[in-house]
C-alpha cells in the first residue's frame, strides 16, 4: 500500500473529497502536511505519491514522475496566495518582506514578480505562514508579507469587512492575477507526483482514484464549499468563489504556464534545466 500525501488546506478538498467520504476507494495511506513538509517527505522517500510544490518537481525532476491531468492551478486570481503590503510593491527595494515558510512555489513566484514586474529587490525574511489569530501582527519591522492557504482567505475576508489587516496593509496583490497579467498564462501552484521508484501499477491505481475523486469533487462543489466554510472559518460564499477560480487539470494551457515558470526559474539560476516526465500508462 502506497503512502499518499495530502495538503490539509481547503484547496485540496475537490481532489480528496470523494476519497474521504468512502465514495472512491484509495489503495494507499493518506498522510497530511503543509506543502514544504510534503516536499521534504517526498525528497526523503517517506512518501510514494503526493501533491507537491511545482518548484519541488523542478528542483529534482529526475526523482519524480508527474501524474497526468492533476494540478492546482488558476487562470487569474487564486485568492489564497496574497502579498499584503504597506507600500506600493515597486517601492520595496531593500525593504523587509516576510515570506511564508510553507510554500516554495509561492515564494519563487514572488521573487520573479519583484525582479521582473515591480523591478526591485526586497530583503526577504522567513515569517509566519499560518495566522490563526487575525489580530496578531509580527513584531518584526516589515513593509509587506506573503500569506498563503486558508489563512490568506481568512485575512482577505477580514480586511474586506474593515478589519485591521485592511488598515495596516492597504496594498493587496494576488500572485495568480499578477502572473496572468505578466505572462497571459495560467499558473500551476502544485502538481501530483510519484517516486520513480514506486511500483508503476500501484501508482496508476492511486492516480485513477485521485482522478475519480476529483471528478466527483468538481460535480459537488456546493457540498465541499459548505465543508470548507466549517473547516476554515471562511464564509460560505467566499468558498464558492474560491473554488470557482481554481482548476485541477493539467491541460495544454496549464502546461504552457508551468513550463514558462520553469523556464524563468532556470534563467534565474534557481532550478536546474530539465524536462517534464509523466507516469506512464500500464
- Residue 133 pLDDT > 60: no
User: What percent of the chain is modeled with pLDDT above 90?
Assistant: 90
**Which H or E element spans position 51?**
strand 49-53
Q: Say if CB 210 and CB 279 are below 8 A apart.
A: no
Q: Is the pLDDT of residue 101 over 90?
A: no
Backbone φ and ψ of 61, nearest 5°: -60, -25
At 63 the pLDDT is 97
Mean pLDDT of the 259-279 span: 96
Q: Tell me the helix, strand and coil percentages in the chain, rounded to 5.
A: 45, 20, 35
* pLDDT interval class at 138 (50, 70, 90): low
> In angstroms, rounded to a whole number, what is the distance separating the alpha carbons of residues 224 and 227?
5
Q: Which residues, in sequence order, are CB contacts of 34 under 8 Å at separation 6+?
A: 7, 8, 102, 103, 129, 130, 149
Q: Return d(Cα 30, Cα 24) in angstroms, integer.
A: 14
Q: pLDDT at residue 140 above 80?
A: no
Domains of the chain: residue spans and CATH: 2-73+186-267 (3.40.190.10), 81-183 (3.40.190.10)
| Contact criterion met (CB below 8 Å) for 235 and 157 | yes
pLDDT at 242: 98
pLDDT at residue 107 above 50? yes
- For residue range 203-223, what is the model confidence (pLDDT) as tens digits? 999 999 999 999 999 999 999
Question: What integer pLDDT is reported at residue 28 of this predicted model?
Answer: 97
What φ, ψ does residue 127 adopt, rounded to 5°?
-125, -165
What pLDDT does residue 279 have? Answer: 96
Amino acid at each position: 500500500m502506497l503512502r499518499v500525501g495530502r495538503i490539509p488546506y481547503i484547496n485540496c478538498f475537490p481532489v480528496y473529497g470523494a476519497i474521504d467520504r468512502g465514495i472512491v476507494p484509495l489503495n494507499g495511506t493518506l498522510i497530511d502536511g503543509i506543502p514544504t513538509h510534503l516536499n521534504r517527505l517526498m525528497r526523503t522517500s517517506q512518501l510514494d505519491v503526493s501533491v507537491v510544490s511545482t518548484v519541488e518537481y523542478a528542483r529534482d525532476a529526475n526523482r519524480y514522475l508527474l501524474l497526468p491531468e492533476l494540478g492546482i492551478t488558476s487562470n487569474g486570481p487564486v485568492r489564497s496566495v496574497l502579498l499584503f503590503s504597506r507600500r506600493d510593491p515597486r517601492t520595496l527595494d531593500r525593504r523587509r518582506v516576510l515570506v511564508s515558510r510553507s510554500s516554495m512555489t509561492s515564494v519563487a513566484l514572488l521573487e520573479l514578480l519583484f525582479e521582473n514586474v515591480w523591478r526591485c529587490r526586497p530583503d526577504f525574511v522567513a515569517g509566519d505562514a499560518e495566522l490563526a489569530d487575525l489580530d496578531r501582527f509580527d513584531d518584526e519591522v516589515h513593509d509587506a508579507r506573503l500569506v498563503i492557504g486558508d489563512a490568506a482567505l481568512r485575512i482577505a475576508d477580514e480586511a474586506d469587512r474593515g478589519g485591521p489587516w485592511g488598515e495596516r496593509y492597504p496594498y493587496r496583490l494576488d500572485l495568480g492575477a499578477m502572473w496572468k497579467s505578466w505572462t497571459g498564462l495560467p499558473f500551476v501552484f502544485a502538481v501530483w507526483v510519484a517516486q520513480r521508484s514506486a511500483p508503476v501499477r500501484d501508482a496508476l491505481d492511486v492516480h485513477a482514484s485521485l482522478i475519480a475523486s476529483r471528478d466527483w469533487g468538481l460535480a459537488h462543489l456546493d457540498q465541499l464549499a459548505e465543508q470548507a466554510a466549517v473547516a476554515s472559518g471562511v464564509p460560505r460564499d467566499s468558498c464558492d468563489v474560491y473554488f470557482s477560480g481554481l482548476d485541477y487539470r493539467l491541460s495544454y494551457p496549464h502546461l504552457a504556464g508551468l513550463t514558462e515558470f520553469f523556464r524563468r526559474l532556470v534563467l534565474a539560476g534557481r532550478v536546474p534545466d530539465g524536462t517534464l516526465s509523466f507516469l506512464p500508462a500500464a
